[in-house]
Amino acid sequence: MFEIRRLEEGRLQMVGRLDAAAAEGAAEAFRGLRGSLILDCSELDYISSAGLGVLIELYQRVHAGGGTVTLVRLVPRVHNVFKYAGFDRLLKIE
Amino acid sequence: MVERRFLRDLGALEAIMAFVRDFLSQRGASRDATLDVELIAEELFTNVVRHARGGAREIALALDWRAPMLTLRLRDFGVERFDVTRVPAPDLSVPLDSRRPGGLGLHLVRRIADRVEYEYRDGNSSVTVTKRLGD
């Protein structure tokens, strides 16, 4: 199960598991977004390469428009997956 | 070793995850260990769904536990050879603006697993992953 919650303007929360089954729906939900974003990952339990692909697509679109994507409050397990993929050096993580 | 068959379809992912979770919870694995094995299973499974040409309707996923080592084996039938151990690692230094999606799944498996082996015989493919779970 994966859900995106809008916390406030420019701040979204990813909840659950961003896996291959959820990736298409997540990509569709992110597609309409423009401008800088903060993604609260405190309730993101799991992410796979499919989920990382969705975030790459989001980042590329926002960055092309001059914005930034910042990931905050990653749980250690998910943070490790970002590290394995080299994303911790490329994405803004706080 | 416990083996189950699953449809070669992303819709089977949930059932695969449930299989992995049930197997490991019955053996007292930690949540983090379970998530590692789920990720390995997902990446290997989605790889065959997306990339294996032809192929039988079902794949076979087997789990074996001899503490502290877990073995996961995914078999795919009637497919072309695709040695996952020989897929080059992605260039992780490429800026995200230039990054194309894909290529990360098998990299994650290799980072998380202790060992990944590939076998191909008579049109059937087998990937065996071993991982030490916990202390």
* ipTM at complex level: 0.91
C-alpha to C-alpha distances, A63 to A31, A55, A67, nearest whole angstrom: 13, 12, 5
Distance CA A45, CA B29 (A): 17
Q: State whether residue A72 sits within 8 Å of chain B by CB.
A: no
> In the predicted model, what is the mean pLDDT of residues B67-94?
90
- pLDDT, position B96: 75
Of A50, A56, A64, the CB nearest to B46: A50
Residue B88 near chain A (CB below 8 Å): no
Lowest mean pLDDT among A17-21, A67-71, B16-20, B23-27: A67-71
Is residue B127 very low, low, confident or very high in pLDDT (cuts 50, 70, 90)? very high
| Interface contact B92, partner A, CB < 8 A | yes
pLDDT tops 60 at residue B135: no
Please write the tens of the pLDDT for every residue from B23-37. Answer: 999 999 999 999 999
Tens digit of pLDDT for each residue in A13-60? Answer: 999 999 999 999 999 999 988 889 999 999 999 999 999 999 989 988
B20 beta partners: none
Query: By CA distance, what is A65's nearest residue in B?
Result: B97
Look at residue B103 and tell me whether its pLDDT is greater than 80.
no
Q: Do B13 and A60 touch (CB under 8 A)?
A: no
Neighbours of A40 (CB within 10 A): 18
Q: Quick check: B10 and A49 CB within 8 A?
A: no
Q: Which of A79, A21, A72, A77 is nearest to A51 (CA)?
A: A21
Q: What is the pLDDT of residue A89?
A: 67
Tell whether B87 lies on the interface with A, counting CB pairs under 8 A.
no
Of the listed ranges A17-21, B79-83, B120-124, the one predicted with least confidence: B79-83
- The pLDDT score that the predictor gives to residue B87 is 87
Of A45, A48, A60, the CB nearest to B96: A60
CA distance B3 to chain A (A): 22
Q: Do B32 and A49 touch (CB under 8 A)?
A: no
Q: How close A44 comes to chain B (CA, Å)? A: 12
Q: Is B43 on the interface with A (CB under 8 A)?
A: yes
* Structure confidence by residue, pLDDT tens digits, B42-67: 999 999 998 776 788 999 999 999 98
A56 near B CB under 8 A: yes
Whole-model pTM: value is: 0.93
* Strand A92-93 versus strand B115-121 pairing type: unpaired
Q: Does A93 touch chain B (CB under 8 A)?
A: no
Contact criterion met (CB < 8 Å) for A21 and B95: no
The answer to whether the Cβ–Cβ distance between B97 and A87 falls below 8 Å is: no
Give chain B as a DSSP string. Answer: -EEEEEESSGGGHHHHHHHHHHHHHTTT--HHHHHHHHHHHHHHHHHHHHH--B--SEEEEEEEEETTEEEEEEEEESB----GGGSPPP-TTS-GGGPPS-SHHHHHHHHH-SEEEEEEETTEEEEEEEEE---
